[in-house]
Amino acid sequence: MEQAITLDFIVKLVRQYWKALLSLTILGGTIAIVVTLWIIQPEYQANVQILVNRKHSSAGTDLTGQQADVQMITTYKELITKPVILKPVRYALQEETKVQRSLKTLEQAVSVTSTANSQVFSIAVRDHDAKASAVIANQIAATFKAQVRQIIKVNNVTIIAPAETPAAPVSPKRITNILIGLVGGFLFGVTYAGIRILFNRRVQSLGYLTEELQLTGLGLVNHQPQESTNTNQQVIRQLQTQSVEKPTIKRV
């Protein structure tokens, strides 16, 4: 039995399987809440802003020097996210702050962003510990300031906004995850109900036979309950028993 996806089909689906749709939607939202609040670890992000402004020999070269500084930010990004900076950071964290993170963890936690035509760039650090994220970000900035003088001979690095301990996590996004769970549960319910309807081969009404298959209705056969059938059979047995009973012969 073929079934076209029409508005009537959708209305029929919702009316027939509204309980399943509601249950699966609530189930999807519940799973999202459990995963978001109790399974996914929250992540905190701390940011530190750095200004790199190399000193130039004359005023005529200031504009050219600023453009060169902006272009050099790409190089600074590469240095900050590589072991040349992160290895000293890791050692300093272990010795001074007792924060222990592997080199791979630091590489995944650090990101560098900048604004077009700006000599200021930001170092962002994500960590499961709010205080540790700020400590790591400030240590990266301090190590970069010390190492970049020897590597690129940059003589003027300023930390203009040190990282502070974040008050709230940036991940996971609770509202977004719950909405995704609700929508996912609803879509799963629609898929389930649609499959049930599309693959249902039973005739649901007399109208399907007379209108769609153009068959002539000759009559209806009513369903007789099982209890009534059993009662009728007992009555028939009793009548049969009475009809075959032998007559009693009286002796004179």
CATH number, position 124:
3.30.70.1130
Residue 163 or residue 62, greater confidence: 163
| Overall average pLDDT of the 1-17 stretch | 73
At residue 21, the pLDDT reads: 94
Q: Is the pLDDT of residue 31 over 80?
A: yes
- Span 64-80, average pLDDT: 80
Mean local confidence (pLDDT), 157-183: 94
Is 18 contained in some domain?
Answer: no
Residues 52 and 150 in one domain: yes
What confidence category does residue 149 fall into, taking pLDDT thresholds of 50, 70 and 90?
A: confident
Query: In this structure, is residue 21 part of a structural domain?
Result: no
Number of domains in the chain: 2
List, in order, residues 6 or more apart from 147 with CB less than 8 Å away.
79, 84, 85, 88
- For the cut 70, the answer to whether the pLDDT of residue 244 exceeds it is no
Which residue range forms the structural domain that includes residue 105? 44-161
At residue 150, the pLDDT reads: 85
Beta strands in the chain (DSSP E): 44-52, 110-114, 120-127, 157-161
Residue 92 pLDDT greater than 50, yes or no: yes
48 within domain boundaries: yes
Mark whether 200 and 130 lie in a shared domain.
no
With cut-offs at 50, 70 and 90, classify the pLDDT of residue 152: confident
Span 127-152, average pLDDT? 93
Q: What mean pLDDT is predicted for residues 165-172?
A: 94
pLDDT recorded at residue 207: 64
Does 179 share its domain with 157? no
Residue 250's pLDDT band (cuts 50, 70, 90):
low
Structural domain contains residue 31: no
Structural domain contains residue 81: yes
Of 136-140, 194-198, 224-228, give the lowest mean pLDDT range: 224-228
Once rounded to an integer, what is the mean pLDDT over residues 8-16? 81
Lowest pLDDT segment from 5-14, 57-66, 128-137, 185-194: 57-66
Other C-beta atoms closer than 10 Å to the C-beta of 153 total 8
Are 61 and 154 in a shared domain?
Answer: yes
- Domain assignment of residue 247, yes or no: no
Asked whether residue 194 is assigned to any structural domain, the reply reads yes
Residues 62 and 156 in one domain: yes
Q: Are both 197 and 106 inside the same structural domain?
A: no
75 falls within a domain = yes
Residues 180 and 76 in one domain: no
Indicate whether 53 and 152 sit together in one domain: yes
If asked whether residues 88 and 156 sit together in one domain, one would say: yes
| 185 lies in the same domain as 132 | no
Judgement on whether residues 152 and 50 belong to the same structural domain of the protein: yes
Q: Are residues 99 and 188 in the same domain?
A: no
Report the chain's terminal Cα–Cα distance, integer Å. 78
Lookup result for tokens 């076209």 = 4
Long-range CB contacts (within 8 A, 24+) of 79-88: 79/144, 79/147, 79/148, 79/151, 80/110, 80/112, 80/123, 80/140, 80/144, 81/107, 81/110, 81/111, 81/112, 84/147, 84/151, 85/140, 85/143, 85/144, 85/147, 86/110, 86/140, 88/143, 88/147
User: Could you tell me the strand order of the sheet in which 44-52 lies?
Assistant: 110-114, 120-127, 44-52, 157-161
CA dihedral 109, 110, 111, 112 (to 10 degrees): 170
In this prediction, residue 137 carries a pLDDT of: 96
pLDDT for the residue numbered 157 = 86
